[in-house]
Amino acid sequence: MAPTRRYDPERRQRIIDAAIRVVGRSGIAGLSHRSVAAEANVPLGSTTYHFKTLDDLLVAALRQTNEGFAKVVRERGGALADPDCDLAAELARLTGQWLDGDRAGVELEYELYLAALRRPALRTVAAEWCEETAALLTHRTDPRTARALVALLDGICLQVLLTGGRYDEDYARETLARVITPSG
């Protein structure tokens, strides 16, 4: 009776949530079927049943965390849709809020995203993220410029995260503005 807690329809989702917490705390290196099982409070066999490999679990986790930046944009980036606002300034501001708001969450999101470098299984999800983020900007710019803006923001954020430096909003705004400037 008691020892078996049956029928848990949200088991799979709880395991994904637990995996995200584990990666946030210990990094991908600390992710194992056992560590996830402990965090999710389920037996070992349950995690291996729902996710045959850790890559499967990482794919599910990345899909879920990809929402991070988009969420900030949705909640506090309403001005982006306004054709009169300064796009570069608004993007620089939102990025600053994202980086300063939940640094641990940002690192987690990037760690999963960057893991695609060595895990082909994650590439599809990483590509989706790029496209979705660029899509947030296509109401204001052409697709080519949108892609460039995403690349530049990625590069700027990475340098902050990798070198431990500070985010310089003025510098970001000015550089973004150069990319936005219509070339002809």
Partner DNA sequence: CAACGATGTGTACCCTCGTACACATGCAAT
Partner DNA sequence: ATTGCATGTGTACGAGGGTACACATCGTTG
Q: How far apart are CA 97 and CA 100, in angstroms?
A: 5
Identify what 89 binds: DNA, its own copies, none; CB under 5 to 8 Å per kind: none
Instruction: Give CB contacts under 8 A, 24+ apart, made by 8-11.
Output: 11/42, 11/46, 11/50
Q: How far apart are CA 102 and CA 33, in angstroms?
A: 27
Query: Shortest gap between Cβ of 13 and its own copies (angstroms)?
Result: 26
Question: Is residue 52 part of the contact set for DNA (CB under 7 A)?
Answer: yes
Identify what 83 binds: its own copies, DNA, none; CB under 5 to 8 Å per kind: none
Question: Is residue 159 part of the contact set for DNA (CB under 7 A)?
Answer: no
Query: Shortest gap between Cβ of 91 and DNA (angstroms)?
Result: 38
Q: How far apart are CA 140 and CA 146, in angstroms?
A: 9
Sole residue written with tokens 């970001």: 172
Query: Shortest gap between Cβ of 106 and DNA (angstroms)?
Result: 25
**Structure token pair of residue 138:** 């296509």
The backbone region for 2, taken as left when phi is positive above 0, alpha when psi lies in -120 to 50, beta otherwise, is alpha
Q: Which residue number, 33 or 140, has a Cβ lying nearer to DNA?
A: 33
Query: Shortest gap between Cβ of 38 and DNA (angstroms)?
Result: 8
Question: Is residue 25 part of the contact set for DNA (CB under 7 A)?
Answer: no
Nearest to 94, CA basis, from 71, 114, 111? 71
Question: Is residue 173 part of the contact set for DNA (CB under 7 A)?
Answer: no
Q: Which residue number, 83 or 120, has a Cβ lying nearer to DNA?
A: 120
CA 172 and chain centroid, separation = 20
Binding pattern for the stretch 16-35 against its own copies, x by CB under 8 A and - elsewhere: -----------x-x------
Q: Which residue number, 9 or 182, has a Cβ lying nearer to DNA?
A: 9
